[in-house]
Amino acid sequence: MSDEQINQDFDDFDGPGVQEQPFADPTTYEALLQHPTLRGFRAHVLWEACSYIKSHPGCKLRDINAHLLDTYPHGRPSLYKLNGRMLEAFGIASHRIRQPELGFHSAGIYITGRGLLLLSGPKPQFKQDTPKLHPAEWALSPEISAMYAPRGARTPFYVEKDYPVNIATGLTVQRQLGLGGYLGKDEVMVLIDASQVKKVDDASTFRLHGGPVAFGYAEFMAGSMKVTVDVASVKVLGRRLKRSKGGE
């Protein structure tokens, strides 16, 4: 997911008029947290959205979502984004047209009484999402001649093979990579070339992994055979997966 996708405007909703839930309206902060209309979404995210809306009356959904993604920098964006239908269903805020006499000085999102009730108590407790280590973390700073091992018990490897190719001048042979077999988990491999390894570092990658990740294939010597292996299927020999300085 690109930066543009993450920051896209979600301001496309039906507006006021969403049918109210057939549940008694809560009158206390504690009752609101237990109310069925708030289930299925993270209460602390709704609290944070209310706090922003109260401080920025008339704001847009894209502004609310940008604030939420900044507040919660890691984890899937869908866990923190809101849309207009959700705000209406939760009853914490609603879209209003410009009505200065009612306090709505510009068209946008305004907090409701239920939103203020949610803000009357502390921000609900939550566990902050943390970056997930990528299995190819080691490939951000590969060490030529260092020893590595397959990550699984049946790791595929690729070798160069001769493949017949039918071209206009007749049948010929080209050497291409093809499946050569599988490596056992106790195999010891020596890295000989990582020049084809690529790095990706975008907003989505940062949210999920906290920094850049590597992908692609590298060449190793496994015994007397040269093999090509997906870098996500390899680990540093005798070392647990941990974040390297290159991935911070």
Write down the pLDDT at residue 170. 64
The stretch 135-160 carries a mean pLDDT of 92
Q: Is the pLDDT of residue 45 over 90?
A: yes
pLDDT higher for 148 or 9? 148
94/7 same-domain check:
yes
pLDDT in tens, 66-109: 999 999 999 988 889 998 888 888 999 999 898 888 888 889 99
Q: For residue 218, is it within any domain?
A: yes
- Does residue 95 share a domain with residue 193? no
For residue 16, what pLDDT is reported? 37
Residue 111 has pLDDT above 70, yes or no: yes
**Co-location of 151 and 110 in the same domain:** no
- Whether 42 and 146 share a structural domain: no
Quick check: is 183 in a domain?
yes
Q: What is the pLDDT of residues 169-218, one digit of tens each?
A: 666 767 677 888 999 988 999 999 999 999 998 888 988 898 999 999 99
At 98 the pLDDT is: 86
Domain stop point among 119, 150, 173: 119
Q: Which of 175, 131, 182 is nearest to 152 (CA)?
A: 182
Q: What is the pLDDT of residue 9?
A: 37
Q: What is the pLDDT of residues 218-234, one digit of tens each?
A: 999 998 899 999 999 99
Tally of CA atoms within 13 A in the half-sphere of 201 that contains its CB? 10
* Residues 153 and 87 reside in one and the same domain: no
**Residues 96, 15 within the same domain:** yes
Q: What is the tally of structural domains in the chain?
A: 2
Ramachandran quadrant class, 238 (left: phi over 0; alpha: psi -120 to 50; beta: rest): left
Point out which residues pair with 200 in neighbouring strands: 213
The reply to whether 131 falls in a domain is no
The mean of the pLDDT values for the chain is 84
Q: Kindly state whether residues 141 and 216 are assigned to the same domain.
A: yes
Q: Is the pLDDT of residue 245 over 90?
A: no
Nearest CA among 152, 126, 151 for reference residue 139: 151
**Residue 102 has what pLDDT?**
83
Q: Are residue 98 and residue 142 in the same domain, yes or no?
A: no
pLDDT tens-place string over residues 17-39: 334 444 568 889 999 998 888 87
More confident residue, 170 or 131: 131
Q: Is residue 130 part of a domain?
A: no
Residue 209 lies in a domain: yes
Domain match, 93 and 150 both: no
Domain termination residue (choose one: 88, 119, 150): 119
Point out the domain boundary residue: 91, 119, 147: 119
Statement to judge: residues 156 and 237 lie in one domain: yes
Q: Enter the tokens of residue 197.
A: 């390894």
Are 115 and 166 in a shared domain?
A: no
128 found inside a domain: no
d(CA 191, CA 236): 10
Q: Identify the pLDDT of residue 237.
A: 87
Q: How far apart are CA 49 and CA 54, in angstroms?
A: 9
Q: How far apart are CA 107 and CA 92, in angstroms?
A: 17
Same domain membership, residue 7 and residue 115: yes
Give residue 15's pLDDT: 37
Structural domain that includes position 100: 3-119
Tell whether 129 is covered by a domain. Answer: no
5: pLDDT strictly greater than 60: no
Question: 210 in helix, strand or coil?
Answer: coil
223, part of any domain: yes
